[in-house]
């Protein structure tokens, strides 16, 4: 027999907790279906977790464009972005590997409460659609039939990025470096775009090394990429990459990092957040919350399982694995197509994903504090 639908709440406002990409995308999609929406955000503004830092909206996990995917869900691509068709990877020996693609490999966006950020653009879309936004509003017990999109569970995460945002006269470019002295079990990155930049060490499992890792990351990119910073400000971010997926608690659905849907290999999460928020909103507006799990299984589950197995292999193989990854990625005629195959779901990865999650190096979870209350790294972690 088909599963029973939830009681119809089509005339009641849909409660969404969290005004990040997942929550705002859900709100936009729900209003388009004719459902009134109230979004509660405990902070005083959108993007309060971030510092104006650059992040990547990945464009490789499906053959089609990520912008087309978002548009098909009902989220316009009217946010500021810069497509990148190439980037540079440094292996543990400091060798430079260029990665190129005819189509954008990713789009660089800015995150935070400032102007021209992804967060502000999604907020503007939501307001224009008629979404009611309530800032400084904490919801302790979401009502049945609502959506939780609050980022890392209870303000905690299992991955950190520590670094600087800065002004620069460097040309636009994106760089990644793989070395456990620069980023234990993770990677360091440098993004420069239109006179601004972000440099950071993304760490999985050895948070106690963060100060050394950041200092070595900055020194490395100064030598290898000509890093030049002005007006540098410290930044720190927390991710939830290794949590088990949790799509539903009782009659409340979860989306984005609250659902554990961040890429476990390199931490990309914006695309999964927006897609999961939109899918959850559709299911709730149709009065069929169980449809969310089915849609997630069809569109996201396989990629997430693959990223978890890739993360374990990446961490366990160490520098030997980093060299293999950099060499094969740069040697591919199309780097975007190679990454898509690397992330492609497979039966053996789906079976191995739970084991990979258990075997990953762990560290004590860290608590995220809004940057307005945490101008220094030590206060943010």
Return d(Cα 370, Cα 137) in angstroms, integer.
15
pLDDT, residue 8, reads 54
- Taking alpha carbons only, the member of 99, 59, 175 closest to residue 334 is 99
Sorted by sequence, the CB contacts under 8 Å of residue 335 that are 6+ apart come out as 86, 99, 100, 101, 105, 329
pLDDT, residue 364, reads 44
**224-271 pLDDT, tens per residue?**
999 999 999 999 988 888 777 899 999 999 999 999 899 989 989 999
Give phi and psi for 25, each to the nearest 5: -60, -40
pLDDT, residue 316, reads 86
pLDDT, residue 371, reads 36
Task: List Cα–Cα distances, 61 to 105, 106, 238, 291, 319, in angstroms.
Answer: 10, 10, 23, 23, 25
pLDDT category at 380 given cuts 50, 70, 90 is: very low
* Residue 205 confidence (pLDDT) above 50: yes
Give the residue extent of every domain in the chain. 14-368
- Taking alpha carbons only, the member of 45, 115, 140 closest to residue 373 is 45
pLDDT category at 129 given cuts 50, 70, 90 is: very high
| DSSP secondary structure code for residue 197 in this structure | E
Sorted by sequence, the CB contacts under 8 Å of residue 263 that are 6+ apart come out as 58, 241, 269, 272, 303, 304, 307
pLDDT category at 1 given cuts 50, 70, 90 is: very low
Residue reference for tokens 């905690």: 156
Average pLDDT of the residues in 36-57? 96
Whether the Cβ atoms of residue 188 and residue 182 lie closer than 8 Å to each other: yes
pLDDT category at 200 given cuts 50, 70, 90 is: very high
- Annotation: CATH topology of 14-368: FAD/NAD(P)-binding domain (3.50.50)
pLDDT category at 145 given cuts 50, 70, 90 is: very high
3-state secondary structure of 366: strand
* Residue 155 confidence (pLDDT) above 60: no
Return d(Cα 276, Cα 255) in angstroms, integer.
5
pLDDT, residue 204, reads 84
Return d(Cα 322, Cα 330) in angstroms, integer.
12
Please state, for a pLDDT cut of 90, what percent of the chain lies above it.
Answer: 76
Q: Are strands 159-167 and 132-135 parallel, antiparallel or unpaired?
A: unpaired
Instruction: Report the 10 Å Cβ neighbour count for 61.
Output: 24
Whether the Cβ atoms of residue 335 and residue 106 lie closer than 8 Å to each other: no
Residue reference for tokens 């098909």: 72
Helices (H), the chain: 21-32, 66-73, 118-129, 210-225, 270-285, 290-296, 302-331, 335-343, 347-359, 377-380
* Residue 113 confidence (pLDDT) above 80: yes
Q: Mean pLDDT, the chain, as a whole number?
A: 90
pLDDT, residue 361, reads 59
Return d(Cα 101, Cα 332) in angstroms, integer.
9
Structure tokens given for 44: 């005083």
pLDDT, residue 362, reads 54
pLDDT category at 315 given cuts 50, 70, 90 is: confident
Give the residue, 154 or 352, on which the prediction is more confident.
Answer: 352
pLDDT category at 219 given cuts 50, 70, 90 is: very high
Helices (H), 332-381: 335-343, 347-359, 377-380
* Residue 10 confidence (pLDDT) above 70: no
Whether the Cβ atoms of residue 363 and residue 206 lie closer than 8 Å to each other: yes
**348-378 pLDDT, tens per residue?**
888 888 887 777 655 444 443 333 333 333 3
Return d(Cα 230, Cα 284) in angstroms, integer.
47
pLDDT, residue 372, reads 34
- Taking alpha carbons only, the member of 347, 327, 348, 346 closest to residue 338 is 327
Return d(Cα 322, Cα 78) in angstroms, integer.
36
pLDDT category at 338 given cuts 50, 70, 90 is: very high
């Amino acid at each position: 027999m088909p599963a029973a639908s939830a009681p119809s709440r089509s005339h009641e406002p849909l409660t969404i907790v969290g005004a990040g990409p997942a929550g705002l995308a859900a709100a936009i999609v729900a209003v388009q279906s004719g459902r009134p929406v109230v979004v509660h955000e405990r902070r005083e503004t959108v993007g309060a977790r971030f510092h104006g830092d650059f992040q990547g909206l990945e464009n490789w996990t499906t053959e089609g464009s990520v912008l087309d995917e978002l548009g098909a869900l009902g989220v316009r691509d009217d946010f500021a972005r810069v497509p990148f068709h190439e980037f540079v990877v440094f292996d543990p020996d400091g060798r430079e590997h260029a990665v190129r693609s005819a189509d954008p490999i990713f789009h660089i966006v800015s995150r935070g409460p400032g102007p021209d950020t992804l967060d502000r653009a999604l907020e503007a879309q939501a307001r224009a659609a008629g979404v009611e936004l309530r800032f400084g509003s904490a919801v302790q017990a979401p009502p049945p039939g609502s959506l939780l999109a609050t980022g890392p569970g209870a303000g905690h995460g299992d991955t950190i990025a520590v670094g600087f945002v800065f002004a620069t006269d460097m040309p636009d470019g994106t760089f990644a470096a793989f070395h456990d002295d620069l980023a234990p079990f993770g990677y360091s990155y440098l993004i420069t775009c239109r006179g601004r930049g972000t440099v950071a060490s993304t760490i999985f499992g050895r948070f106690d090394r963060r100060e050394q890792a950041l200092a070595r990351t900055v020194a490395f990119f100064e030598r290898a990429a000509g890093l030049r910073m002005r007006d540098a400000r410290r930044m720190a971010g927390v991710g939830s990459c290794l949590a088990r997926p949790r799509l539903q608690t009782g009659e409340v659905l979860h989306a984005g990092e609250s659902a554990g849907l961040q890429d476990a290999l390199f931490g990309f999460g914006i695309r999964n957040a927006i897609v999961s928020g939109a899918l959850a909103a559709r299911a709730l507006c149709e009065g069929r919350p169980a449809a969310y799990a089915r849609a997630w299984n069809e569109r996201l589950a396989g990629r997430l399982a693959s990223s978890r197995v890739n993360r374990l292999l990446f961490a366990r193989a160490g520098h030997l694995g980093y060299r293999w990854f950099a060499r094969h990625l740069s040697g591919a005629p199309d780097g975007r197509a190679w990454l898509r195959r690397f992330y492609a779901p497979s039966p053996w990865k789906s079976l191995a994903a739970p084991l990979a999650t258990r075997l990953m190096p762990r560290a004590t979870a860290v608590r995220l504090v809004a940057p307005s209350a945490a101008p220094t790294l030590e206060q943010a972690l």
